[in-house]
Chains A and B, each alone.
Chain A
């Protein structure tokens, strides 16, 4: 039997689709205009971007910065949040409060503060995006990573899994990497993806600290070339979606779901 869908639902769905896709469609059509005539259709704008060394260079920098931010955030926050859940759960609200600070402090304030704070730091750190920028991005990504990981840890019985791992002889590192981490994989991937999205789109800190990242490149193109600007906007959108799909693909990987709350089966 074919299930009837209420017309009002279809209307709301069409409105939502239109809201999200009309700007994208308009951007796409604009990006396909010929540079000489301003009329459809040409892929010249995409060619301009893809042949621009600055595009690949800034994209590579931002992508590597994102990976470094993800790696440091995971190394820093996974053991910390695990320990808090296991040993000092009273500290969880305190850390949750601290995690809100990057939301409250505007990036412009933060970058001024960080530039002053790290003024005396060695050149390899202060003058390189891999040092200064990543330090700022880890702070910026803290709330996203914390809340994602926290949700993951709350979905498993951390105490019982830890003790069940220690009982047959596992050490702390084995417990963390073989038992705990695989069971919060989705949360860690979710946090990582948010990190990636933040770093790929962060403009204020990179601009004020004079590093040429992908958002800086987009801004430069936007100010100088109209059609390629639309093309690069769509391409950055595509990169974000590709990252999200890869997350879904990796997260779907192995079974072992759904997670079960202890004692309820």
Chain B
């Protein structure tokens, strides 16, 4: 039985529909990330769960009880905000103690619990410091301890790492996950960073235009995106528009180039499809003046840029039919410098196919665009 349920949640702000028909079921102790670009409705959904806003319709159920109309201070939910939200007039320890005081816990119990939580987030030594004496990462740790102090039924995190630098972000997200697993607390996490969502979650729900585009386990979301938007938002994806030529053999036509794809088998002839190929699945090699073979699933092009990404280098290839992005080891990329004519092989069994409708496919903004 689901511990946290969002049933047909709808919310509008004047003419703007922020959420339309959100349905989520989350088991006790599970970690769900709401992932999407700015304005997709993920924070609105979180605020509805927290009680800071009311839905136009639909309901929120926690542990079998409808809390839709319960005020936020009676919901027993711990929240960590995107903005640094520690009370500036209180020390780190007093911030953590705040909720316990309100609940009338005895002084001795409070102090023990505060120290325990500060140590859990690695700040046992900093209890007497004021927020302005703490770094951004430390402040968010204290905010996490404060949210956990009241032993909330659900932990809500609203882009808690977005104001932090990259290294601290990675470190802190791992700690959040460790603490979540240690305490077994049901968690709803909002982020626009797909890498962050995939790294820490049991489930990921990708949102777009106030709807959930797809919800599933991180590996499923990456390997089997259900819509073009999800495919592009989660990781980088090459998108090739094509038409099924022979559904029985899995042959498609991409702007005059014939490709054999396992995923095209059984598709009706003439169907317009979108072929999705991950950059790491493309096999790129120097062209050496040879013409592309008709049956080799090859696309020709020219390397335009190299982008060093640490373990791999990303090549941008401008082709006769499509622009492509390919990831390969840095050592191998060195053999294909910019200006090199190349052939890119589309793997027969490693491409995903989506039916291309006439409706416009939204371009997924990258995390940098948020």
Contacts and interface: CB of A to CB of B under 8 A. Distances in A.
Contacts of A169: 73-74, 76, 99, 102-103, 150
B87 A255 contact: no
A179 B72 contact: no
A42 interface: no
A263 B147 CA distance: 18
B85 A168 contact: no
Contact of A164 (B87, B102, B103, B149): B87
Contacts of A156: 88
Nearest to A157: B83
Nearest to B164: A265
Interface in A157-211: 157, 160-161, 163-171, 174, 178-179, 182-183, 185
B36 interface: no
Interface in B123-159: 130-132, 135-136, 139, 143, 146-147, 149-150
A183 B88 contact: yes
Contacts of B150: 168-169
Contacts of A262: 83-85
Contact of B78 (A167, A179, A182, A265): A167
B77 interface: yes
Interface residues of A, number: 30
A256 interface: yes
Interface in B75-120: 76-79, 81-90, 98-99, 102-103
Contacts of A165: 87, 98
Contacts of B86: 164
A264 to B, nearest CB: 8
A255 B132 CA distance: 10
A165 B88 CA distance: 12
B131 A166 contact: no
A233 B345 CA distance: 94
B89 A263 contact: no
B325 to A, nearest CB: 32
Contact of B135 (A163, A263, A265): A265
Contact of B102 (A170, A257, A265): A170
Contact of B147 (A157, A166, A168, A265): A168
B118 to A, nearest CB: 16
Contacts of B149: 168
Contacts of B81: 160, 163-164
Nearest to A258: B132
B308 interface: no
B77 A167 contact: yes
Given A169-B102, A260-B132, A183 B163 contact: no
A260 B84 contact: yes
Contacts of A51: none
A42 B58 CA distance: 84
Contacts of B76: 169
Contacts of B135: 265
Contacts of B73: 166-171
A264 B136 CA distance: 9
Contacts of B190: none
B81 to A, nearest CB: 5
A256 to B, nearest CB: 4
A194 B132 CA distance: 29
A179 B85 CA distance: 11
Given A163-B79, A265-B136, A265-B139, A256 B89 contact: yes
Contact of A254 (B52, B82, B89, B98): B89
Contact of B89 (A167, A182, A258, A260): A182
A258 B84 CA distance: 14
A161 B85 contact: yes
Given A164-B81, A265-B163, A174 B90 contact: no
A179 B99 CA distance: 12
A161 to B, nearest CB: 7
A128 B131 CA distance: 48
A83 B37 CA distance: 31
Contacts of B52: 163, 166
B172 interface: no
B50 interface: yes
Nearest to A164: B85
6 contacts: A156-B88, A161-B85, A168-B99, A170-B98, A258-B132, A260-B88
Q: Return the 10 tightest CB-CB contacts between A and B, nearest first.
A: A168-B99, A262-B83, A182-B89, A164-B85, A256-B89, A167-B79, A166-B72, A166-B73, A160-B85, A169-B102
Given A164-B146, A168-B78, 16 more contacts: A164-B86, A166-B52, A166-B71, A166-B72, A167-B79, A167-B99, A170-B98, A170-B102, A171-B73, A183-B87, A183-B89, A185-B89, A254-B89, A256-B90, A260-B132, A265-B139
Interface of B: 50-52, 71-74, 76-79, 81-90, 98-99, 102-103, 130-132, 135-136, 139, 143, 146-147, 149-150, 163
